[in-house]
Amino acid sequence: MQFGGFEKFTLIDYSTKVACMVYTIGCNFRCPYCHNPELVDETVEARIDEKEILDFLKGRIGMLDGIVITGGEPTMHGDDLLSFMREVKKLGFLVKLDSNGTNPVVLRQAIDEKIVDYIAMDIKSPFSKYTETVGRAVNVNNIKKSIEIIKESGIPYEFRTTIVKSMLSFLDIEEIGKEIKGANNYYLQKFIPTKTVNPQFLKKVTYSDEEFASLKNIMEKYVSFCDIR
Ligand code: SF4
Question: What CATH number does residue 212 fall under?
Answer: 3.20.20.70
Kindly tell me the burial class for residue 1, based on how many C-beta atoms sit within 10 Å of its own C-beta (0-12, 13-18, 19 or more).
buried
Q: Is the CB of 73 under 6 A from ligand 1?
A: yes
Full domain range(s) for residue 181: 2-228
Residue nearest to atom 1 of ligand 1 (CA): 34
Query: Does the model's pTM come out above 0.75?
Result: yes
Measure the CA–CA gap between 202 and 163, rounded to whole angstroms. 14
Ligand 1 centroid from CA 174, angstroms: 22
What sign does the dihedral 44-46-50-56 (CA atoms) show?
Answer: negative
Q: Is the CB of 31 under 6 A from ligand 1?
A: yes
Q: What is the model's pLDDT at position 143?
A: 98
Q: Is the CB of 37 under 6 A from ligand 1?
A: no
Say if residues 155 and 111 touch (Cβ distance below 8 Å): yes
The total domain count for the chain is 1
Measure the CA–CA gap between 89 and 117, rounded to whole angstroms. 10
Q: Is the CB of 1 under 6 A from ligand 1?
A: no
pLDDT in single tens digits along all 229 residues of the chain? 999 999 999 999 999 999 999 999 999 999 999 999 999 988 888 789 999 999 999 999 999 999 999 999 999 999 999 999 999 999 999 999 999 999 999 999 999 999 999 999 999 999 999 999 999 999 999 999 999 999 999 999 999 999 999 999 999 999 999 999 999 999 999 999 989 999 999 999 999 999 999 999 999 999 999 999 9
Kindly give the number of the ligand 1 atom that is closest to the alpha carbon of 135. Answer: 3
3 state SS for the chain: CEEEEEEEEECCCCCCCCEEEEEECCCCCCCCCCCCHHHHCCCCCCCEEHHHHHHHHHCCECCECEEEEECCCHHHHHHHHHHHHHHHHHCCCEEEEEECCCCHHHHHHHHHCCCCCEEEEECCCCHHHHHHHHCCCCCHHHHHHHHHHHHCCCCCEEEEEEECCCCCCHHHHHHHHHHCCCCCEEEEEECCCCCCCCHHHHHCCCCCHHHHHHHHHHHCCCCCEEEEC
Cα 113 to chain centroid, rounded? 20
